[in-house]
Amino acid sequence: MALINKIREKSGLAVGIIAVSLILFIVGGDLLGSRSLFSGQDQSVGEIAGQKISYPEFNAKVDEARAAYEQQTGRPATEQDQVQLRDQAWNQFILDIAYQKEYDALGLKVTPEELVDMVQGNYISPAIRQTFTDPKTGVFDKNTVINYLKSLKTLPAEQQLAWANFEKNLSTDRTRTKYENLLRLTSFVTTAEAQKEYQAQNTRADAKFLLVPYYSVPDTTVKVTDSQLQEYLDKHKDEYKSFNSRTIQYVTFPVAPSKEDSTALYDQIKTLARGLATATNDSSYARMNSDIQAPLYMTLGEMPEQLKSTVGTFAPGGVYGPYKEGNTYFIYKYSGTKKDTNFTVRASHILIRAAGNDSAKAAARTKAEGILKQIQGGASFEALAQSNSADGSAQQGGDLGYFKNNNQMVKPFQDAIFSFNGTGLIPRLVETEFGFHIIKVTEAKTNTLYRISTIGKTITPSQATRDEVYRKAEQFATESQTKEAFDENVKKDKSLVVATAERIPENATSVNALGNARELVRWAFNDDTDINDVSSAVEVDDQYVVAVLTGETEEDQATVDSFRQELTTKVRNQLKVDQIVAKLGNASGTLESIAQKYGAGALVETVPDLNLATGFLKSAGVDPVAVGKIFGLKDGKRSKPFAGDAGVLIVETTKIVPAPTVADYTVYKNQLKQNASSRTGFMINEAIRDNAKVKDRRAKFY
């Protein structure tokens, strides 16, 4: 705001100079880089139904959405929020352009009179009801809306604009609802379709099948050539839709604190310790100087182990530490105690569950009593807990940690522990709804709270450390301008490990485990980046990344390399089918004898009560072709070997039970209608986007 006010104070020429300078500073890289306004490149963020959306036009709508969001939430939009707001703005363009063409063709609209009725009439919009419902009473009063509208002109311009956008969205949503409802009414289910669905759900079959899984033939024994992959792709082009993607290899240079950083922080924490010791308001001093917020009062159980071990030496005003936990140094100042309203205790237990009838309960009690006697005789409580306790604490030897008498535990359990004085084994079983408990109090109950002012300082890399890591990464990048040089330099530096990220989509924000990697993705998709090009050092979280572009796919160009892994699996399985079928030969005899003759890998399974709608074939999984063959065979008949999803199968139908004849298929008609109706919104969206030939190029700009 200070900068803006200063600009406003200046006169025309000065304002112009400052404004231009700011613009060049903020977006100069964009103006002078690969998407320069002066380079002649396409500056549209996308195209919808032949209409290009310019970057300024799109950005204006994003700014509008962000302003509305920030007014509604009362906080600035985060980077993640802005990603969602850009999606929201893009979808709004699709509604305004592609959907609107469909609305206009059908004459669909919301009249001013209808909008008034939605806001303050007889058929109030659900969005209005939600917005103006009193959160305390849950009551909606139409007069609240009317009074708000009467005062609208007196409200700030931002609120007036927000309301105008709100009303516009009401109208847009209502028009879309009309359109979707209209298309839902076109859904029709014939009696023949309903009858077919009824038979699919109610016809039953018992079957047996022989399966030779694809994995039973080692992949190494089946060679797949590029020509075979290309031939398969040519025959199945409709199944392999390409998209813009990039494949990279990369190395990382982590930015970790150095020994010098650790030493500097240790010196700082010692200085803070002296300040904490003399501070008159120790809690305020700690809050101002700590990276980590900690409670001012702690129970013994809430203390870190290193601090707890020094409780016996506590003296008012004493400073303890520094103690290192992970990458953080802690110092503590003790300032006395007070009494809590609740007691805290630490205990362990062994739970023997007692579910079921009276005899099971009696057996559980007998078992628990036997364990209690073993412990009283000197057996290890922890060992018996690990081998006998029926809850998650068994792995910790029954340890439940610290808890208070504020109903954290069920009442019988809590009463038994907090009525026990001191530490040790409670000499009786405690029964709760969960079963029988054998309990040992490991730290006596106490209601003492310790006033502890805490300063925690985390070791972070200094700017000098960051600069040094960046220098190393940039030097590697400079010396690795080709893929060959990249590979050679990796071999020289044994600390570097090459990772591969395949088929990164254009709008990706992460790459493998690298979060916030948007700049790396944008480099890979930059028009100036070619195959085998090497990036400069790109900062990604707490590391620098140097990458080499090794592959790319384009939306309109499906190649073998685009789908090599999937194609290889498909073609290899086809070749395995030929091997397996040849080995099966002219299958005869029982399925069991055929499997035995085939040898290792073949298995036979029985599937009772199978239905066509939801058929599942155990080891063969969900295989529609196999299920269809089972229902297409007559009782006692067997198929020839065929390729299924999981392997080569031979199916044998042992019994078919036809669905009973019914006169009315209304239930099944309604099921199919409902299923079709639930998909309508999605199918409309897909059809409109496809018809509008939507081209989304936002990833070039964000």
The model's pLDDT over 625-646, given as tens digits with 9 standing for 90+, comes to 999 999 999 999 999 999 999 9
**For residue 59, what is the enclosing H or E element?**
helix 55-73
**DSSP annotation string for 245-298:** EEEEEEEEEE----HHHHHHHHHHHHHHHHHHHH-SSHHHHHHHH-SS---SEE
CA–CA distance, 1 with 7 (Å, rounded to integer): 10
Q: Evaluate whether 405 touches 343 at the Cβ level (below 8 Å).
A: yes
Neighbours of 441 (CB within 10 A): 20
- What integer pLDDT is reported at residue 500 of this predicted model? 94
* Structure confidence by residue, pLDDT tens digits, 273-326: 999 999 999 999 999 999 999 999 999 888 999 999 999 999 999 999 999 998
Query: pTM of this prediction?
Result: 0.59
Average pLDDT over residues 683-687: 92
Could you tell me the two tokens for 245? 């993607």
- What integer pLDDT is reported at residue 550 of this predicted model? 93
Q: Evaluate whether 607 touches 618 at the Cβ level (below 8 Å).
A: yes
* Structure confidence by residue, pLDDT tens digits, 391-444: 889 999 999 999 999 888 999 999 999 999 999 999 999 999 899 999 999 999
Average pLDDT over residues 370-382: 95
- What integer pLDDT is reported at residue 360 of this predicted model? 81
- What integer pLDDT is reported at residue 355 of this predicted model? 72
187: β partners: none
Domains of the chain, CATH where assigned: 1-32 (no CATH), 112-184 (no CATH), 204-240+564-657 (3.10.50), 245-256+463-557 (3.10.50), 258-460 (3.10.50.40)
**For residue 45, what is the enclosing H or E element?**
strand 44-48
Could you tell me the two tokens for 5? 């006010």
HSE value, Cβ hemisphere, 13 Å, CA-based, for 477: 23
Backbone angles phi, psi at 43, to 5 degrees: -100, 20
Average pLDDT over residues 500-528: 92
Residue 409, classed as helix, strand or coil, is coil
* Structure confidence by residue, pLDDT tens digits, 238-272: 888 888 899 999 999 999 999 999 999 999 999 99
Q: Evaluate whether 224 touches 629 at the Cβ level (below 8 Å).
A: no
**Which of the four pLDDT bands, split at 50, 70 and 90, describes residue 476?**
very high
**For residue 18, what is the enclosing H or E element?**
helix 12-32
Q: Between 26 and 140, where is the model more confident? A: 140
CA–CA distance, 652 with 209 (Å, rounded to integer): 6
Query: Does residue 460 register a pLDDT over 70?
Result: yes
Name the percent of the chain lying above pLDDT 90: 72
Q: Evaluate whether 286 touches 455 at the Cβ level (below 8 Å).
A: yes
